[in-house]
Structure 1
Amino acid sequence: MIDFDGFPRLTTDRLVLREPVTTDAADILVFRSDPVAQRYNSAPLRDLDESRGLIEEIRDVYANRAGVIWAVTLTETGRVIGIFGFDGWDTYHRRAQVGYDLSRDLWGRGLATEALAAILAYGFSELGLHRVEAQTIADNEESVRLLGRLGFQREGTRRDHSFEEDGLFHDGAIYGLLAPERP
């Protein structure tokens, strides 16, 4: 079980997942201000102050022992290209919710699968999770494919769950992955 004395650092073939820091604000602003990348997510960030505020929120999740959210960086450049992690961590029920953002210029290269696989392995082995949940807009095809590649099963639909930038309500899809089912 995690001791919260030091932030966990994960590495993969192409990525380093590390603690987000205030100096990451400009990199994070690039993908969190992109209206296309954020079309099924939170409202796009508008400036560096909002980006720094997001980093503080992320750091608070860890400080409050409610989850672990990593800054995902490319090994070769150190540039922050995404934010992946767990929140809503319930230690008694051994479950957490996973979330992810990846810079749109890197979509389709397998980086989201690589990062998500790394944090799932960490969650099941180090956090002792039995269940990981994911929520996405049902017509977010990229997210649905990502979850499917990693073994998540669709468990339900929340009709007209979110009002999006296109001026329409969209269904929300709920996915789950249990420890014994993981690939």
Structure 2
Amino acid sequence: MIVSEPREQIAAWVGNRIGVSFHPPYTTLAHIDRGRIIAGFVFNVWTEHDVEVSLAADRLTLTLMRSVFRYVVHQLGCRRATARTRADNAESQKVLARLGARLEGRQQAYFGDCDALLYAIMKEDFPYGLHAEGPESA
């Protein structure tokens, strides 16, 4: 089941997984399976055309990815989503590439002890939106 509430609990789950704290305003989406969060997104720093997206997941599903696409593009009206990951997190970089993200730059010492890699996912490049078909796992 895809849910957007309880917002604070979803944001705390994502934040604990990626080592950050979120402060309102933000919105969230999460995939709940058997009563527990298996994937969560936090959307903040909305600027009309762009929104920052933070993700933590045990498993990503196509259903969740389509929900995220619809939310970013259709509800927020954004053309792009921005994401950051630790430069030493190769797994996260692979997931971002699978989601259609393109590397845009590097932010020195963004995480204090590590640089951040800055990615963008453009509406036109998001592989799980519009009329995408395929298996349930992303």
Q: TM-score range by the shorter chain?
A: 0.7 to 0.9
CA distance in 1, matches of 2:87, 2:63: 22
Superposition map of 1:71-82 within 5 A:
71-74=30-33, 77-82=34-39
Aligned: 1:42 with 2:20: yes
The residue that corresponds to 2:2 in the other structure is 16
CA distance in 2, matches of 1:68, 1:83: 11
Cα 1:116–1:96 change in 2 (3 A) is: same
- SS of 1:160's partner is coil
Q: Which structure 1 segments of 5+ residues have no match?
A: 1-14, 44-53, 62-66, 164-168
CA distance in 2, matches of 1:97, 1:28: 17
Superposition map of 1:1-183 within 5 A:
15-20=1-6, 24=9, 28=13, 32=16, 37-38=17-18, 41-42=19-20, 57=23, 60-61=24-25, 67-74=26-33, 77-91=34-48, 94-102=49-57, 106=58, 110-111=59-60, 115-163=64-112, 169-183=113-127
Q: What is the number of equivalent residue pairs in this alignment?
A: 126
Task: Give the AA of the match of 1:68.
Answer: T
- TM-score of the two chains, using structure 1 as the length reference: 0.57
Once the 2 structures are TM-superposed, how far is the Cα of residue 133 of structure 1 from its aligned partner? 0.5
Once the 2 structures are TM-superposed, how far is the Cα of residue 121 of structure 1 from its aligned partner? 2.9
Cα 1:177–1:28 change in 2 (3 A) is: closer
The residue that corresponds to 1:49 in the other structure is none
Identity level (%)? 25
The residue that corresponds to 2:133 in the other structure is none
The residue that corresponds to 1:3 in the other structure is none
| 1:28-66 CA distance string (max 9 Å, x none) | 49x92xxxx44xx227xxxxxxxxxx7xx4xx42xxxxx
CA distance in 2, matches of 1:132, 1:174: 11
Q: Which structure 2 segments of 5+ residues have no match?
A: 128-138
Larger radius of gyration: 1
Alignment RMSD: 2.9
Does the Cα contact within 8 Å between 2:39 and 2:55 map onto a contact in 1?
yes
CA distance in 2, matches of 1:20, 1:111: 19
The residue that corresponds to 2:132 in the other structure is none
